Structure 1
Amino acid sequence: MVESNTTLPNHRVEYDRRLRSLSRTRQSNTIVESNTFIELDTIVESNTIVESNTIVESDTIVKSNTIVDRTRSSTAFVESNTFVASNTFVECPVESNTFVEHVESNTIVESNTFVESNTIVELNKIVELNTIVESNTIVESNTIVVSNTFVESNTIVESNTIVESNMIVESNTNVESDMMVRSNTIVESNTIVESNTIVESNTTVESNTIVDCVCRVEHVRRVPCRRVEHDRRL
């Protein structure tokens, strides 16, 4: 029996020694029997497991507040939600309000993206625009940027090889000749590859601007939302 490759030469030496001892056993009465046993069993097992998990999280928040006081002002509110999967669903409600005299402007942009291996992509986008204008010219700007990145990668590779070869040769010369060869070969290969990748990125930007003024006019405009439904099938 041979395991891996370290004992293979010893097996060959033992096999040659047995051949020499058997080849010398001849009798003077010219009766020689030759029996050869050959058996071939080959077992090959290969298991490959590949696991790859990728998580990407990106959060971006932008806040901008502008305050300026004039005779005109406008406020816009936009919401857009997009879902992508086997079905396509789009909703776009839009509301537009215009105010003169007192304008407030707040800009908030939020973007969340989640990607999973089950081919589901969800995109949520919310845009809010509010404008405030006042005439005291005060400007404040605060910026915060935070970025965290985590990468983890684990790789496990295991390979086990077992080779067994048993051969018996007996030589005695006669009319009878039986041949049998036994060879047992077992090859087992197990490969496990695991890769985990986690990337997290958080970005926050805040900007505040304040300026003063007087007038106010109100104007409201509404746009009806549009919905599109669409089925994709392979």
Structure 2
Amino acid sequence: MSSFLFTGEPWLRAAWEGEMGDSGSPGRDGDPGQTAQFLFRNMCIALPGDGEQGGNGHDGYNGDAGMKGRPAPPGTLDLGIIEGQITIEVGGGQGQTGGKGGLGGAGGSGGRAGYNPIYEGPGIYPPPQPCPSGQAGPMGWGGKGGNGGNAGDGGDGGTVTVYYKSIKSGNIDSKTFFGNPGIPGAAGFGGYSTTGNRGNGRPGFQGSLGSASNVIIRQVP
């Protein structure tokens, strides 16, 4: 038994992944507090400010779309006198896998709480730190993950012509198939943040089958 396969070479790797989104900017620090002495007591005259929330991370970049599968090469076979089973398969190659979506950018760090001063003027009076402390700002939201790249379409078919003189035993069996699309690229994950993120991207879309192939078998003198 002999077999002949005419198909496009496979892609050895997926399309390029999307890049990670940029991180958010740091939040603004809170304003410092202020104290003063009044009637033998330390007084808070300006509260320390809270830090502002960090900037949101940027979305991840989308993965590249997969390339179309390589076509089946055209071919000619001269088999002469057939002895035994002959199988001929023709079809396009599989499309390239789409690139994975990029990771969302991390949220920016929250701003620091404003400085809470200790009174350092003349005399020692309670309380030494009269202002309540401010709060540090929360992280910004993590960016959304990038979308996966679309799957590459299946490769187009080809035509193979087979010549033979006679069949002593066996048979010539021809099979054709459509080039399958690649695999859609995976969705990118949302960026890191203790606050949360804007979610993952979406996977890429499915590709299409390649065109049909043809096998022509002819007996020659």
Bigger relative CO (Cα 8 Å, ≥ 6 apart) = 1
Structure with higher Rg: it is 1
Higher strand share: 1
Give me the TM-score of the superposition, normalised by structure 1: 0.33
Give me the TM-score of the superposition, normalised by structure 2: 0.34
Higher helix share: 1
